[in-house]
Structure 1
């Protein structure tokens, strides 16, 4: 299994801080460190972190990542991409097609037993899996499912249900997902000029692949996409376990 962490977004900067949000410290740990430590029980063969070349040069991200986990690699993103899907595609040469793959954002904090989540997806026979939470805010992607929690459709920035995507993706075979990403880009299936990861799962669904969801408790997911959300997360962490 490889775990691909996306940390190259242009919105990853705090208003009053020269460091990206994922390098913010919360309770003595970097946001990126908290993310990697939470995923470590999955025993991945490697963490792969996509980071902007400028951030790596200024903040020595490669050294930070190696100190968090010796099984890690940096993929430098040398210029702006057309979205998270394009960023993920830049890691394709470092991942074997038949390997399992998990994709997460560097900042979002999910308080679950990831080993239990992945075991559930594996045992269900699914080809892919998502974690969802309840929201109607159009900043997220949304999932429409059937009664068995099989995904029927995913829409980016358009609420088609109350099931918002928490930004955690499990794929049984990385190669199938990268093919789906490429097909989505070739179809020019962008949203406001950007290619997102979640809609690529629609391509897998069209190929009769099974994508399942697991719903999170209301307090199990904390997106960190703004300075305000980071401040709220810091306050929650100070007042009790995160």
Structure 2
């Protein structure tokens, strides 16, 4: 298994605080560190962190991720990409097509037993799996499900159900998903000029692949993309509601 963590977006907190949000400290641990530690029960072969080359040079990110885990390394993004899907494709040479793959965002904190989640996906014989939570806010991507809880349609920034996507993707075969990402880009299936990861699931669905879902509890998904959200997360952690 490989875990691909996307950390190359515009995520500086403020002009006065140039550090990316995922380098913020919460109870003595970096946000990125807390995420990698939460994923450790999956015992992956490696963690691959896609990071902007400027952030890597300025903040010594490769040193940081290697100190978090000896299995971790970085892929440097030297210039702005056309979205998270294009960033993910930069890691294609580091991952074998037949290997299991997880993709998630560096700024998202998900309070769940990841080993339990992945085992549920594996035992279902699904080709892929995503985590969902209840929301109608158009900042997210949304999933339309069939009666079996399988994904039949994905829409980015357009609510088509109350099943919002938490940005965690499990793929039985990495090659299937990289092929789907490439096909989506070739079709020019962008949203407001950017290529997002979630709509690539539509390409898998067209190929008759089964995408399973796992519903999160109300407070289990905590995106951290702004100082306000970071402050809220710190408050929850201090109160013992997050881990």
- Normalising by the smaller structure, the TM-score range is over 0.9
- Deviations, residues 185-215 of structure 1 (Å, cap 9, x unaligned): 0000000000000000000000000001011
Matched residue, 1:59: 59
- 1:173 is the counterpart of 2:173: yes
Matched residue, 2:83: 83
Give the superposition deviation at 1:147: 1.3
Matched residue, 1:50: 50
TM-score normalised by length of structure 1: 0.99
- CA separation in 2, counterparts of 1:227 and 1:155? 27
Q: Secondary structure at the match of 1:176?
A: helix
- Deviations, residues 18-41 of structure 1 (Å, cap 9, x unaligned): 100000001111000001000011
Stretches of 4+ moved more than 4 A in 1? none
Matched residue, 1:236: 236
Equivalent pairs, count: 241
Matched residue, 2:205: 205
Cα-Cα RMSD: 0.6
Q: Secondary structure at the match of 2:203?
A: helix
Matches within 5 A, 1:12-31: 12-15=11-14, 16-31=16-31
Give the superposition deviation at 1:17: 1.1
* Of 165-174 and 218-227, the range deviating more from structure 2: 218-227
Give the superposition deviation at 1:150: 0.4
- Deviations, residues 109-128 of structure 1 (Å, cap 9, x unaligned): 00000000000000000000
- CA separation in 2, counterparts of 1:185 and 1:27? 40
- CA separation in 2, counterparts of 1:81 and 1:152? 28
Matched residue, 2:35: 35
Give the superposition deviation at 1:241: 4.2
Matches within 5 A, 1:2-13: 2-10=2-10, 12-13=11-12
- CA separation in 2, counterparts of 1:34 and 1:7? 14
For structure 1, the residue ranges without an aligned partner over 5 or more in a row are: none
Give the superposition deviation at 1:227: 1.4
Q: Secondary structure at the match of 2:170?
A: strand
Q: Secondary structure at the match of 1:66?
A: helix
- CA separation in 1, counterparts of 2:236 and 2:165? 22
Matched residue, 1:124: 124
- CA separation in 1, counterparts of 2:225 and 2:128? 25
- CA separation in 2, counterparts of 1:159 and 1:146? 16
Q: Secondary structure at the match of 1:232?
A: helix
Q: Secondary structure at the match of 1:51?
A: strand
